[in-house]
Structure 1
Amino acid sequence: MDLFPGAKVIACVRNVAWVMDSIERRYRANPYEITRLFNDDTERNTVYSRVETLAQRNRMVGYPWTALKEAFYGEHASSLLLVDYELLAQAPQKVLPLIYQFLGEPEYAHDFAQVKYDAPEFDEALGLHGLHHVRPQVALQRRETILPPDLFEQYSKLSFWHDGSQSRANVVAARPTVNA
């Protein structure tokens, strides 16, 4: 805030279990690549060791999760907007105006059926082909998880942004549903 007074940060958030599921899917789709996500066979040998490794506080999922949690409860939280991935994917035409409102910027017309993004060079260097390939149309694709039930349940509990009672951060998210 000293360097950029009035700066605002937007973070797209997703249930951590689904993040782990997505990374595991990419890992399994590239069985012959040696990814740089893991340092040795011990870290990559099972879905349990892979997910646990990624969740460490200095790794691909754990570090951004802890940094975001620090910002969410930190002194500059009012400059932070968290946007739920599922809500954005389901209703981008309703979510984007809220983002522009947070930024204090005029709205811009978007074409949600013509999205183009890919970073094959980055993914190749990481050894995880297709990690940043974005489908051309914004839409939520429902699927079954490939994680074992205990892992999925464990990481589903990490969505701290659903309880903003002790934070000044701004959040655009649907209320979480409770399964009977």
Structure 2
Amino acid sequence: MGGLLKPCPSCFLNMARIFCHMTCSPAQKDFVSATANATSHAIINATYYMTNSYAVGSFESCKDITFSGVSAVSILCGEYADNCTAYTLLRSIGSHDGVHSPFQIDFLFSDFPVHSKGEEYIPMNASCLACWQPAYVGGPRCSCSCHLRCFPSACSGSCSGELFMLRRRKSRED
């Protein structure tokens, strides 16, 4: 994924945050539910609750990046390339298909707390950057594949609170 998205540091950072939050966030239990194998305790499935604004904002920061003349997000969308949206992109990236993810990640989108199996989840809503913004102060910006980078007056912004090991939620039986 990095090779496709690195031409736009803000896009790369937005997408990396998804996985950094999933693996290291101290608030991980608030937006990720993991299912482990009963014998090995290895994670076999994760449900990741995310706000629509973060999903769409991340996608918007990446959608105009091209790789050898082809849309980078369409490549990442795989079988959904013809109808690549923020939601199909994350569905593809979360697929445990031997290409994308070492276990299944089901992304669920909500702008409100979600109640599931007796637990309340607060969807991940980190801040994200528009394609025309540098990933860090003084850092490079996206190339002109980000149309807003070249024409910032057309910008409307991307997203609406950081980089953070996937822990299995203890069940009542543990």
TM-score, normalisation: structure 1: 0.26
Higher alpha-carbon Rg = 1
TM-score by length of 2: 0.27
User: Which has the larger helix fraction?
Assistant: 1
Q: Pick the structure with more strand per residue.
A: 2
